[in-house]
């Protein structure tokens, strides 16, 4: 280098350097362009994949955000439903009678036809009616207006996923059933409103009734328990390791193992939870409390690592300033270092929790993939979580669950994006320059 600069000053060699630089310049610039191109290509590829993912989810999931419903004028026949026998009664027959009124030409003397006719309505319709009558027995003998979901095949027909040109024997609805539905539609009793049941109903065997309420509440409790356990423990461990622990072989060993812990496959934590929490401690299966503890095992290393990084990032000048005034070690840590590290800690925690929200394998092992038709009232009730609910629905054969699976994935992704957005917001808001 010294020779080069010296050469530049001494005229005979100066031209050589300039020529050499000029000759290599094109090659160097080309290399840079190639590198930039590769980088842009990689980003483009990532965006393309993201776009394909979201597009496929939306295209198969958007149908689940609406639900075909039918509006019926139901005469609550006192002969079928007797007040003294409630909650038992012929609710299904009553509903079928009101359908028959809309489709008068259908001959209902035949049992099979009656069954087929009832099949237009969701199986949940009779329970809706029952609940209304039980709540207000005065309805018996009156005519009430009800809007109830239609069953899954008709829902699919209305949404266009059943092809009318398919040969009849390969179709889930025969020609007569399609004709009924078309007639009902012509009479204007069919509607397709927003599917609020997707978040207000718990799981069901019938896709038109199945919703995410149980999974949402289960996930909430699991995350809550996970946060309450992993946040204080994780921060405490990180503060001790980073600020107070002597730097020796033991602390090195602990550090290596915490990093290892963060890389342990999640299914292993599930097995551990199954053996320890459920096997030894006898905690209930399928409970969000156990799920939360399991997720806490996984989230804690993430929080410890994030917290240590955040503590390390606090400039030493701040520590020195406080120490120089005569602050004790804990005053330095809790008065100065921790507040400055908080944005980083919170960001790490939220990202750890977002990871926990999407975690499936450990929850499967502790039984949070059970079929549970009511939302949990507390963290000790059986429940599912969002990812395990997706797992269950993805396994179900009914056509309606295909779109519901995608819709549930969209809901889960929505939560993840929101949590990450909060993390970014917090980081930007509290980021300081010093």
Contacts with other proteins, residue ranges (CB under 8 A): 246-247, 315, 317-328, 331, 335-336, 340, 432-434
For other proteins, give the closer residue by CB, 12 or 246.
246
Write out the two tokens for 275.
């053996």
Percentages of the chain per state (helix, strand, coil), in multiples of 5: 70, 5, 25
As a whole number of angstroms, the distance between CA 70 and CA 59 comes to: 25
* Closer residue to other proteins, CB minimum distance, 80 or 255: 255
Two tokens, residue 300 = 């804690």
Q: Least distance to other proteins from the beta carbon of 309, Å?
A: 19
CB-wise, 82 or 320, nearer to other proteins?
320
Is residue 311 packed enough to be buried (19+ CB in 10 Å), middle (13-18) or exposed (0-12)? buried
Closest CA to 245 of 260, 233, 255, 258: 255
Query: In whole angstroms, how close is the CB of 238 to other proteins at the nearest point?
Result: 18
Nearer Cβ to other proteins (319/399): 319
CA distances from 396 to 66, 179, 210 (A): 20, 28, 12
Nearer to other proteins, 70 or 310 (CB): 310
* 145: enclosing H helix or E strand: strand 143-149
Residue 339 CB, nearest approach to other proteins (Å): 8
Min CB(5)–other proteins separation in Å: 25
The DSSP symbol for 272 reads H
Compute the least distance from the CB of residue 329 to other proteins, in Å.
9
State how far the Cα of 425 lies from the Cα of 76, in Å rounded to an integer: 56
Query: Looking at beta carbons only, is 130 or 319 nearer to other proteins?
Result: 319
Name the minimum Å distance from CB 303 to other proteins. 24
């Amino acid at each position: 280098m010294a020779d080069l600069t010296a050469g530049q000053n001494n005229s005979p060699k100066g031209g050589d350097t300039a020529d050499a630089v000029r000759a290599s310049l094109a090659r160097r610039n080309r290399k840079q362009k190639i590198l930039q191109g590769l980088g842009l290509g990689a980003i483009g590829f990532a965006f393309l994949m993201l776009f394909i993912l979201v597009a496929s989810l939306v295209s198969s999931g958007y149908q689940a955000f609406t639900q075909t419903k039918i509006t019926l004028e139901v005469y609550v026949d006192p002969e079928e439903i007797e007040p003294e026998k409630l909650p038992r009664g012929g609710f299904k027959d009553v509903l079928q009678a009101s359908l028959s009124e809309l489709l008068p030409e259908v001959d209902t003397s035949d049992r099979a036809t009656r069954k087929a006719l009832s099949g237009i309505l969701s199986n949940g319709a009779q329970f809706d009616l029952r609940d209304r009558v039980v709540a207000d027995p005065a309805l018996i003998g009156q005519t009430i207006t009800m809007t109830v979901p239609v069953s899954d095949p008709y829902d699919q027909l209305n949404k266009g996923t059943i092809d009318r040109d398919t040969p009849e024997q390969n179709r889930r609805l025969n020609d007569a059933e399609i004709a009924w539905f078309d007639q009902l539609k012509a009479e204007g009793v069919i509607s397709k409103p927003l599917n609020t049941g997707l978040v207000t109903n718990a799981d069901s065997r019938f896709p038109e009734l199945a919703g995410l309420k149980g999974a949402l509440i289960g996930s909430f409790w699991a995350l809550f328990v996970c946060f309450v356990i992993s946040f204080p423990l994780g921060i405490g461990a990180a503060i001790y390791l980073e600020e107070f622990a002597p730097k020796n072989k033991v602390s090195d060993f602990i550090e290596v193992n915490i990093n290892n812990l963060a890389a342990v496959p999640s299914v292993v934590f599930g097995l551990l939870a199954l053996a320890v929490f459920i096997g030894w401690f006898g905690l209930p299966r399928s409970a969000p409390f156990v799920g939360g503890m399991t997720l806490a095992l996984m989230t804690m290393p993430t929080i410890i690592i994030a917290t240590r990084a955040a503590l390390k990032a606090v400039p030493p000048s701040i520590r020195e300033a406080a120490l120089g005034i005569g602050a004790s070690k804990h005053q330095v840590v809790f008065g100065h270092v921790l507040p400055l590290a908080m944005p980083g800690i919170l960001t790490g925690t939220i990202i750890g929790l977002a990871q926990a929200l999407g975690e499936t394998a450990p929850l499967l092992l502790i039984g949070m993939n059970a079929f549970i038709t009511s939302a949990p009232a507390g963290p000790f009730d059986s429940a599912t979580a969002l990812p395990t609910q997706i797992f269950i629905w993805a396994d179900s054969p009914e056509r309606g669950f295909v779109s519901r699976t995608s819709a549930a994935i969209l809901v889960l992704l929505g939560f993840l994006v929101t949590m990450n957005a909060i993390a970014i917001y917090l980081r930007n808001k509290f980021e300081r320059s010093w």
